Structure 1
Amino acid sequence: MARQELAHYLRERRAALRPHEIGLAATGTDRRTPGLRREEVAELAHMSVDYYTRLEQARGPRPSPRILDALARALRLTPAERSHLFRLAGSSAPPGISVERRVRPHVARMLERLPETGAIVTDAAYDVVAWNPLARALLGADPGGGTTNLARRRFLNQGRMYESSSAEEFGHIVVARLRRAADRYPHDPKLAALLAELHANSAEFRQIWETRPVHAPGHRTKTLNHPKAGALRLNCDVLLVPEDDQEVVLITATPGTTTRSALSTLTRA
């Protein structure tokens, strides 16, 4: 029975994953179904097509945790779906290996539907993985379109960091989140390099790190001194994307205020 349930789940998840989500073209008369082919999943999981086919047909041996982890990555499973896959196979899911740095398409589309709200998505290492035009106008895009990391902005002055009334509090928020990330993803090389860089180059970061700060996402207000729009009184609210360990930050202004008018001007710019 367990083999049948695992086989059904693999078939179900393969059918639900669209080719464009992994960079494959969905055109062509030879693709009769919207999901992935078995050989495509096998290639993504670095296993033979025969082995993967036997798993889908409930004929294969009990897969090892390494095989299950490869399947979870190939099928783009969320942490909850990954844990379910391991349970179906009779194994305990080990912690995730790396920080999720992709933003889900529906989350990215949501950002574009908020023209009068600045919105950014950050991963567990504080890389900005998506942001809308108003957020870029408010926070300033990095020259050259390089990766924007808010921890580097805050502690290493890398990229534009406008003067803000919440700078001190934000430093503690950043460290608290990075400490959680370090516990969850101890083998993520990019995260390890970021932490090493911050420890080596910021005495303030090292000092806050030793205090082991704890901060929960929520509603906050701050004043941002924008080079074009002047002093802006902003509301910041955080929505969680728990399956990817990401946060969506929504930046708004109170209706009827000069800040709201300034945001409308930035939106049109």
Structure 2
Amino acid sequence: MTTTSDLAGLLRAWRDRLQPAAVGFPAGRRRTRGLRREEVALLAGLSVDYLVRLEQGRAERPSAQVVASLARVLQLSDPERDQLYAAAGLAAPSSGLVPTHIPGSVQRLLARLPDVAIGVYTATWTLLVANDAWSALLGPAVPGRNLVAQAFTGTGVRVLREPEDELRFQRALVSDLRRASIRYPDDRGVDELVAHLTRASATFATLWAEATIVEHRSEPKTFDHPVVGPLTLDCDVFTAAGTDLRVVAYTAVPGSEDASRFDLLRTLGTTQAEGWPSTDEAVHDVARPGSVEEENAGG
């Protein structure tokens, strides 16, 4: 049996212990030991008033999406995340579902490497979070945007590849999606994504039927960028230890012309990257039942 006071106490305790530097905020002079409520609310996509009511035990039971967002922002371990779900009166995510929890170590990586464009994806290549350098390079980082859907519906950024390299990249994405469908049989979102792409793309349908297994490899990518023109960066894909998350990192060779162009993009920021996919672009979401904004409106 749990109460709203359990949830309130956990939220306050975990907010107090999280240091500003861990999320990329300057420490400065602070009255609080950890993050301010305003900072947690901003990172979680919640209103400050709603977070105050949660921490004071005055709010109704939060949605699973709100709890997931708070667990991510507070950089909880898996057992802590499960405890937060229980305190909110919710079942913790099943092992049969695609994991979306981002370990604190990965979040610190995003905050502390501003010169590297970093994006974190689920096993189905659904974007969870990215840093500012990523948004400057690839356009606004919209959580829920799916890389496989972008690749097969022509809504992603333009990468200059030879036809055989493009086919290998597509096969690798399809291989990853098939692996996820086998590993997480209870996740309806995976089946929905496969069905959506089978209808939307004849190429995807063909590659899915072939069932050819192809692994990703680290290699340079050349973007046809709308601001700085052709831009070649090294692309490396890592798997966070103990998770099924994919961390994608773009870096430039130091002292190169591409490094200068990349520096310029980071200086200009996201708003200058016109021509990249926008935040209001129609993107296939993977089983996302409601938005945090809806929670704000309701609570």
Deviation of residue 241 (structure 1)? 1.6
Partners of 1:123 and 1:141 lie apart in 2 by 18
Tell me if the contact between 1:139 and 1:162 (Cα under 8 Å) persists in the aligned partners. no
Partner of 2:157: 161
Deviation of residue 114 (structure 1)? 1.4
Partner of 2:236: 237
**1:151 alignment partner, one of 137, 148, 151:** 148
* TM-score (structure 2 length as normaliser): 0.58
Equivalent pairs counted in the alignment come to 201
Deviation of residue 164 (structure 1)? 2.7
Partners of 2:248 and 2:190 lie apart in 1 by 21
Deviation of residue 223 (structure 1)? 1.4
Question: What stretches of structure 1 move > 6 A for 4+ residues in a row?
Answer: 21-28
Deviation of residue 264 (structure 1)? 0.6
Tell me if the contact between 2:128 and 2:143 (Cα under 8 Å) persists in the aligned partners. no
Partners of 1:172 and 1:141 lie apart in 2 by 26
Partners of 1:215 and 1:40 lie apart in 2 by 38
Alignment of 1:19-168 (within 5 A): 19=14, 43=87, 73=92, 96-141=95-140, 145=142, 147-158=144-155, 160-165=156-161, 166-168=165-167
1:161 partner amino acid: V
Deviation of residue 42 (structure 1)? 5.1
Tell me if the contact between 1:101 and 1:129 (Cα under 8 Å) persists in the aligned partners. yes
1:177 partner amino acid: D
**The residue matched to 1:215 in structure 2 has which SS?**
coil
* TM-score (structure 1 length as normaliser): 0.64
> How big is each residue's C-alpha offset from its partner over 1:111-144, in whole Å with a ceiling of 9 and x where there is no partner?
12111111111101110111111111212227xx
Gapped regions of structure 2 (runs ≥ 5): 1-9, 16-39, 57-78, 269-299
Tell me if the contact between 1:96 and 1:184 (Cα under 8 Å) persists in the aligned partners. no
Percent identical pairs in the alignment equals 28
Partner of 1:201: 200
Gapped regions of structure 1 (runs ≥ 5): 1-14, 29-34, 47-69, 77-94
> Higher relative CO (CA 8 A, sep ≥ 6), structure 1 or 2?
2
Deviation of residue 19 (structure 1)? 5.0
Partner of 1:11: none
1:217–1:163 Cα change, 3 Å: closer
**The residue matched to 1:244 in structure 2 has which SS?**
coil
Partner of 1:259: 258
Partners of 1:214 and 1:117 lie apart in 2 by 30
> RMSD value over aligned CA atoms?
3.4
Tell me if the contact between 2:122 and 2:128 (Cα under 8 Å) persists in the aligned partners. yes
Structure whose alpha-carbon radius of gyration is higher: 1
Tell me if the contact between 2:159 and 2:221 (Cα under 8 Å) persists in the aligned partners. no
